[in-house]
Copies of this chain bind each other. A is one copy, B any other.
Amino acid sequence: MKIKVLSIGKSNPDFIKEGIAFFHHKIKHFCDFEWQELVPKKKSELPDLSKKIDAELLLQHLEDSDIVILLDERGKTFKSSYDFSEFINKKQLSGVKRLVFVVGGSFGFDESIYQRANEKISLASMTFSHQMIRLIFLEQLYRGFAILHHLPYHHE
Q: Is A124 a contact of B127 with CB atoms below 8 Å?
A: no
Which B-chain residue is minimally distant from A19 (CB atoms)? B15
Task: Find residues 108-146 in chain A having any chain B CB closer than 8 Å to their own CB.
Answer: 123-132, 135-136, 139-140, 143
Per-residue CB contact flags for chain A residues 40-83 toward chain B (1 = under 8 Å, else 0) read: 00000000000000000000000000000000000001111100
Count chain B CB atoms within 10 A of each CB in A77, A131, A143 and give the residue with the most.
A143
Chain B residues with CB under 8 A of A79: 125
Chain B residues with CB under 8 A of A28: none
CB distance from A116 to the nearest CB of B (A): 24
Known: A18-B15, A22-B13. A80 touches B156 (CB 8 A): no
Q: Is B18 a contact of A127 with CB atoms below 8 Å?
A: no
CB distance from A47 to the nearest CB of B (A): 9
Chain B residues with CB under 8 A of A126: 78, 80-81, 84, 123-124, 140, 143
Interface: A106 (CB within 8 A): yes
Alpha-carbon distance between A42 and B84 when the two chains are bound, in angstroms: 36
Which B-chain residue is minimally distant from A78 (CB atoms)? B126
Which B-chain residue is minimally distant from A13 (CB atoms)? B22
Interface: A154 (CB within 8 A): yes
Interface: A150 (CB within 8 A): no
